[in-house]
Amino acid sequence: MPLVQRELEPRYSGNVGREQQPEDWFAQRCRRTARERFSNQSISHIWMGTPQKFSTQTGGVVRQSRCDDFWGEVMSLQAITSNVLETQFAFHANRWHRDTRHTSSLTRMITHPSYLRIIGLGPDAVPLLLRELSQRPDHWLVALNAITGEDPADENATFSEALEAWLEWGRRRGYLA
């Protein structure tokens, strides 16, 4: 599967009726575009199969269509998607900062709903977490560990040493300049 498709797919198969989030805005935009293109007023799911095949679901019926023009539009939407992810990340990071700024309890920090939402963003959030860590050091080590399964610091590292180990880990993998 081409890379761009794999990156698009999770956000592109928007499900109607979920909580309104920036990702849903993207899904809505895709659905609206699909309705305009295919004159379909009740699309509940959309998938991108290949650049030439575009699937829509109406009720239980899945239809495939050629969509060369639509693919071009999706490509332009991809640029918006990264902004949507960043917007979502920034929203939750700022809310987490505000709500945990004077707590010492790491448990309270890492069980905060926004912290969990950021973990839920998955691997897409790793570059954003590392950039946040480099610009505004904070307790993102648990989130990075949860998403990547890595723990690059030495066993007895201080917080600052562990933070630097994560930044170096990110540089080695090309997440950070």
- Please report, as ranges, the residues that interact with another protein according to CB under 8 A: 98, 100-107, 110, 137-139, 141-142, 145, 151, 153-163, 165
Q: Minimum Å distance from CB 149 to another protein?
A: 11
Q: Minimum Å distance from CB 156 to another protein?
A: 8
Q: Judge contact between 30 and 96, C-beta under 8 A.
A: no
Task: Quote the CA–CA distance of 100 and 110 in Å, as a whole number.
Answer: 10
User: Which residue, 46 or 163, is less far from another protein as judged by CB?
Assistant: 163
Q: Which residues contact 37 (CB under 8 A, 6 or more apart)?
A: 67, 69, 70
β-strands 61-66, 43-50 pairing? unpaired
Q: Minimum Å distance from CB 74 to another protein?
A: 38
How distant, in Å, are the alpha carbons of 24, 34, 107 from that of 88? 11, 24, 23
Q: Minimum Å distance from CB 124 to another protein?
A: 21
